[in-house]
Amino acid sequence: MSKQPASLKEYLKERKKIVDDALDRFLPGEDRFPPLIFESMRYSVFAGGKRLRPVLCMAAAETVGGDIERVVPVACAIELIHTYSLIHDDLPLMDDDDFRRGMPTNHKVFGEGIAVLAGDALLTEAFHLMSDGEILDKVAPEALLKTISEVSTAAGFYGMIGGQVVDLESEGKDADMETLNYIHRHKTEALLTVSIRAGAILTGASETDLAALSAYGRGIGLAFQITDDILDIEGDKELLGKDTGSDKAHNKVTFPALLGLDGSRKRARESIDEALSNIAHFDDKADPLRMIAKFIIERKS
Amino acid sequence: MSKQPASLKEYLKERKKIVDDALDRFLPGEDRFPPLIFESMRYSVFAGGKRLRPVLCMAAAETVGGDIERVVPVACAIELIHTYSLIHDDLPLMDDDDFRRGMPTNHKVFGEGIAVLAGDALLTEAFHLMSDGEILDKVAPEALLKTISEVSTAAGFYGMIGGQVVDLESEGKDADMETLNYIHRHKTEALLTVSIRAGAILTGASETDLAALSAYGRGIGLAFQITDDILDIEGDKELLGKDTGSDKAHNKVTFPALLGLDGSRKRARESIDEALSNIAHFDDKADPLRMIAKFIIERKS
């Protein structure tokens, strides 16, 4: 499974297909009762995401010489957590967004009550995927518990949810770099980094390799958030599948607001260089992680 | 720890204290950042619940000869899941309730955005409590994974969330006994039953004992829901800490609506008798479960 891909585009497409197929297998269909919850969950899960977190999880497993098949259920679980967070963040009581990835947001289609429940169900099912089913044949129980613990921390009050709380609280206020860093590190970086760590933990990486991969995760996490902020200003609405200018409309604190556009681009490049230097000692099995790092700042959506 | 309690009241008080102390130890305080999320979570967790699910979890452990200390973190995790479900259910976009246990509901105090996030954080932390910390010294990894799997199923789309979806969908419609049974079995019984199963799984119960305890759980689960429906009609508002008549106001399908008050009381008693018969073969270590069964239909709040 670890043959070198011809190009980044081909690599991402192949990996996205592995994830999409697995998600389709793991998520019950609308033939199950009550159909509405499965329709709502599937609407958002299959809305065309890049599957960046699962792809990173698999690439980290490959980097340390592991088999990507072993990490697919956990990679999918993390994608479910990412999707739940988008559904809840888009609610009128949170960011109040009507479109995502070119489609109406979950609550615009299914109503706010079902959208909350679909998010709750995706979060809950993520932990089911990490504790039962095919993963049990592939990974030692201790490594699974460590993964569940790390993922729940990254998604919880000291991670993604903590970041969203501070994001909500800082709307419309003059926020400083310290606040911006807190929001980004918790809201975005925590789940990206744990995707990489999980791939490595599940395939038996050493503590040294784990530390190097975590540093890589922090580097691409910062670059990812800065690029998101830049795209919200000068991105192509068609490619993004949503309106630009949303950060400004919500009075959100962003990197371009504090560093300017040029300063932000410079910071993103430095952060990617830092990420790459942390995985420089790995052999060519880390090439996918190297390609993804460059993709993070070059992407148009 | 398994000395016989003098009375039900004393027993419930003693057990509630064990749970409250553990929850206070497990949940970060408002001195942690960001304080608002911990304030909001703690507001609802310490709003005076009976801790029925954790008490059942510990009583099931005792019944099969296990040490209750081993199950406390999981018992608390299930209480966090119960609390998250109440916070989300009370939201205006769901049941729109202003009071619970005599206090304003979470979103009335903290706003809807923080209430959604506090619920998300409690659900996420539940899985952290079951996969890390002191539980790792007390329970084998395989039993923990089985517990996480069962709890996530009971709380998820085939359990509690499925029940809430059908409950939402059936509001204002003429629902039949089949729908009512679906709602109650999934929304209430699933989490009650898994509380009992978890206590037994974590302390190494046999499959036969597990089956008997599950049947007990189904029996008290039905009686619990019927009693809830009856209390919503003729309960004491002061003792309940919330307005009665809420089911009627929301056009909810209830047991009294389909069976009448007398018919409902009869069904609840039969269900408790059924529960008791399923644990008749256990020795006096099952006496707490027997007391709790009677408490379920005699309670006033």
Per-residue pLDDT of chain A (301 residues; tens, 9 = 90+): 445 556 899 999 999 999 999 999 999 999 999 999 999 999 999 998 999 999 999 999 999 999 999 999 999 999 999 999 999 999 999 999 999 988 999 999 999 999 999 999 999 999 999 999 999 999 999 999 999 999 999 999 999 999 999 999 998 888 899 999 999 999 999 999 999 999 999 999 999 999 999 999 999 999 999 999 999 999 888 888 878 888 888 888 899 999 999 999 999 999 999 999 999 999 999 999 999 999 999 988 8
Question: What are the pLDDT digits (tens) for B213-229?
Answer: 999 999 999 999 999 99
For chain A, domain boundaries: 8-298
Question: What are the pLDDT digits (tens) for B18-76?
Answer: 999 999 999 999 999 999 999 999 999 999 899 999 999 999 999 999 999 999 999 99
Q: Are strands B103-104 and B99-100 parallel, antiparallel or unpaired?
A: antiparallel
Whole-number Å distance between alpha carbons of A81 and A96: 19
Complex ipTM value: 0.96
Q: Do A132 and B149 touch (CB under 8 A)?
A: yes
Chain A residue numbers with beta carbons less than 8 Å from the beta carbon of B106 are none
Whole-number Å distance between alpha carbons of A14 and A3: 12
Show which of residues 80-109 on chain B sit within 8 Å of chain A, judged by CB atoms: 84, 88, 91, 93-94
Residue A155's closest chain B neighbor by CA?
A: B124
User: Three-state secondary structure along A116-183?
Assistant: HHHHHHHHHHHHHHCCCHHHHHCCCHHHHHHHHHHHHHHHCCCCHHHHHHHHHHHCCCCCCHHHHHHH
Write the burial class of residue B26 (CB in 10 Å: 0-12 exposed, 13-18 middle, 19+ buried): buried
With beta carbons less than 8 A apart as the criterion, state whether B105 and B166 touch. Answer: no
- In Å, how far from its chain's centre is CA A211? 19
With beta carbons less than 8 A apart as the criterion, state whether B123 and A120 touch. Answer: yes
* CA B239, B240, B243, B249 torsion-angle sign: negative
Chain B residue numbers with beta carbons less than 8 Å from the beta carbon of A113 are 91, 93-94, 168
With beta carbons less than 8 A apart as the criterion, state whether A34 and B165 touch. Answer: yes
Whole-number Å distance between alpha carbons of B184 and B226: 9
* CA distances for B212 relative to A1, A13, B231, B275, B285, angstroms: 47, 50, 29, 9, 14
Q: Inter-axis angle of helices A52-63 and A190-202, to 10 degrees?
A: 40
Q: Do A125 and B157 touch (CB under 8 A)?
A: yes
Whole-number Å distance between alpha carbons of B83 and A291: 44
Say which amino acid occupies B106: N
Question: What are the pLDDT digits (tens) for A142-166?
Answer: 999 999 999 999 999 999 999 999 9
Q: Which CATH number fits domain B8-298: 1.10.10.10, 1.10.600.10, 1.10.490.10, 3.90.79.10?
A: 1.10.600.10
Chain A residue numbers with beta carbons less than 8 Å from the beta carbon of B111 are 93
Q: Do A144 and B145 touch (CB under 8 A)?
A: yes
* CA A133, A135, A136, A142 torsion-angle sign: negative
Mean pLDDT, residues B173-195 taken together: 94
With beta carbons less than 8 A apart as the criterion, state whether A37 and B167 touch. Answer: no
* CA distances for A294 relative to A217, A272, A290, B79, B291, angstroms: 13, 7, 7, 45, 64
Residue B80 scores a pLDDT above 80: yes
Identify the bridge partners of residue B103 per DSSP, sorted by sequence position. B100
- Looking at residue A5, the DSSP 8-state letter turns out to be P
Chain B residue numbers with beta carbons less than 8 Å from the beta carbon of A149 are 128, 131-132
- Chain A with chain B: Cβ pairs closer than 8 A: 154
Nearest to A272 by CA among A239, A224, A240: A224
Instruction: Give the DSSP H/E element, type plus range, for residue B8.
Output: helix B8-26
Could you tell me if A141 lies within 8 Å of chain B, comparing CB atoms?
Answer: yes
Of B33, B84, B145, the CB nearest to A131: B145
Whole-number Å distance between alpha carbons of B142 and A139: 12
Which two structure tokens, joined as six digits, stand for B115? Answer: 């209430």
Helix (H, G, I), strand (E, B) or coil at A102: coil
Q: Inter-axis angle of helices A177-184 and A207-234, to 10 degrees?
A: 120
CB burial string A102-127: b at 16+ within 10 A, e below:
eeebbbbebebbbbbbbbbbbbbbbb
Residue A81's closest chain B neighbor by CA?
A: B124
Q: Do A113 and B94 touch (CB under 8 A)?
A: yes
Residue B300 scores a pLDDT above 90: no
The string of DSSP codes covering A267-279 is HHHHHHHHHHHHT
With beta carbons less than 8 A apart as the criterion, state whether B126 and A154 touch. Answer: no
Q: Do B120 and A123 touch (CB under 8 A)?
A: yes
Whole-number Å distance between alpha carbons of A28 and A42: 9
Identify the bridge partners of residue B99 per DSSP, sorted by sequence position. B104
Could you tell me if B110 lies within 8 Å of chain A, comparing CB atoms?
Answer: no
pLDDT of amino acid B237? 84
| Angle at alpha carbon of residue A158, lines to A154 and A162, rounded to 5° | 100
Whole-number Å distance between alpha carbons of B55 and A234: 56
Chain A residue numbers with beta carbons less than 8 Å from the beta carbon of B157 are 28, 37-38, 41, 121, 124-125
Query: Which residues does A25 contact at the CB level (< 8 Å), separation at least 6?
Result: none
Residue B28's closest chain A neighbor by CA?
A: A157
With beta carbons less than 8 A apart as the criterion, state whether B4 and B284 touch. Answer: yes
Whole-number Å distance between alpha carbons of A145 and B249: 45
Helix (H, G, I), strand (E, B) or coil at A99: strand
Identify the bridge partners of residue B100 per DSSP, sorted by sequence position. B103
- Which of B152, B182, B202 should be substituted to probe chain A, the one whose Cβ sees the most A Cβ atoms within 10 Å? B152
